[in-house]
Amino acid sequence: MPQYMLLIYDDPSSSPAPDSAQGQQEFQEYGIFTQDIQEKGLMVTGAPLQTVDTATTVRVRNGGEAVLSDGPFADTKEWLAGYYILDCADLDTATAQAARIPAARHGAIEVRPIMDMPQM
């Protein structure tokens, strides 16, 4: 079965504060969603990510020299907040699951097929 990565992009300025009632409700919704996709046998793995202020970006420049910089690769309001990897029969199934992720209401969920590389 093909695997799809669901990348959760969130805009912290429009998402509920984690310690608010709405933030706690959204946290519970993530738990319900995760339990449901596990029970359906769709979930391979997934995890929330720490905030962008903890990120380090690595670029190789000047003939092989690694250059490190704090923060995300691009300046944007939305940041990569987490991901799920699902086994889905097709893209329609994957996008239907992506639409159920709470952050889809105030951010965006990118659905991308994982490249099958049997030689690896």
Alpha helices (H) along 8-108: 21-39, 91-98
pTM value is: 0.84
Q: CB–CB of 11/105 below 8 Å? A: no
Average pLDDT over residues 4-15: 90
Q: For residue 73, what pLDDT is reported?
A: 59
Could you tell me the pLDDT band of residue 18, with boundaries at 50, 70 and 90?
A: confident
Q: Please choose, from the candidates 33, 36, 45, the residue with its C-alpha nearest in 3D space to the C-alpha of residue 4.
A: 45
> By three-state DSSP, how is residue 102 classified?
helix
pLDDT digits (tens, 9 = 90+) for 22-67: 999 999 999 999 999 999 999 999 999 988 888 888 889 888 888 8
Q: For residue 58, what pLDDT is reported?
A: 83
